[in-house]
Amino acid sequence: MFGALFSIEKFVLNSKQSLDNVFTDTQTIDGLEIALDRSESQVKYYRELSQLYNHLKLENNLLRESLAIKSKINHKSYYAQVIFKDPALSSDYLIIDKGYEQGLKVNMPVVCSRELNNRLVLIGKTVEVGDNFSRVRVITAKNFFISVKSLNNEYSGILRGQGAWNQNLAIDYIPVEANPQIGETIFSTGGSDIYPEGLYIGEIRGIGQNVIEEFFQILYLKAGFDYNTISDVFVLDYINEVPLINDTELTNERSQS
């Protein structure tokens, strides 16, 4: 009798101990889950801080580079970022984040620099200016025209965009007696109230004969910028009588040629 009661009491005590252990284990698991959630939250927080740091570092580097370029330009200029490009390359335009409120106007030249070691590369001109945005027509747009010349002023012609779908350029009215070379660089002439002299246009990739005008050649160019990679630009407040840039690069190139 007493043995049976003792066995029952022992069973009850063991069951209670088991329940206590289960309760304790459950508390431990809950505590571990809370600690895990906290750890995951901290990891996420530090990851976001790291991403923010890298983003700010990149922006700071871009700003430092932009300020260095801006300090070399004689004309008043506005730094802007590209906020829209057509990913299908079927557009002749891009959109920048500066507009009327920042001082921009229609027909202001838009340039970039990083593609060619700080040389100013002509991208296009502003054709529509809103309060805080502007639409820029790129030089590769069909029937975009500008007067251009060779580096050493040996010949000049009229640049013609051929459409953004192929990002190519052509130069008409090059005299047949001129001797252009593949790989030669082309610049703006400065004979315009919109574009200053010395803006880099592109590089000659092909030479052909004008089938209509027998006294002229046609040059085919690759533009000096890549539509896909444009991220930041400068908009020039150009005054015709002021030199473009405080740099002897073009002078040195002419003397070495």
Predicted pLDDT at 86:
82
User: Which pLDDT band, with edges at 50, 70 and 90, does 246 fall under?
Assistant: very low
Read off the pLDDT of each residue in 114-122 and give the average, rounded to a whole number: 70
Task: Map out the domains of the chain as residue ranges.
Answer: 1-71, 77-240+248-256
User: Of 3-7, 50-54, 164-168, where does mean pLDDT reach its minimum?
Assistant: 3-7
CATH number of this structure's domain 77-240+248-256: 2.40.10.350
User: Of 141-150, 160-169, 217-226, where does mean pLDDT reach its minimum?
Assistant: 160-169
Do β-strands 76-85 and 156-161 pair in parallel, antiparallel, or remain unpaired? unpaired
Question: What are 70-80's pLDDT values in tens digits?
Answer: 556 667 889 99
Residue 252 has pLDDT above 70, yes or no: no
Predicted pLDDT at 32:
64
Residue 103 has pLDDT above 90, yes or no: yes
Do β-strands 93-96 and 134-138 pair in parallel, antiparallel, or remain unpaired? antiparallel
Predicted pLDDT at 227:
87
- Per this entry, what is the length of the chain? 257
Residue 197 has pLDDT above 60, yes or no: yes
Which of 173, 170, 175 has the alpha carbon at shortest distance from 186? 170
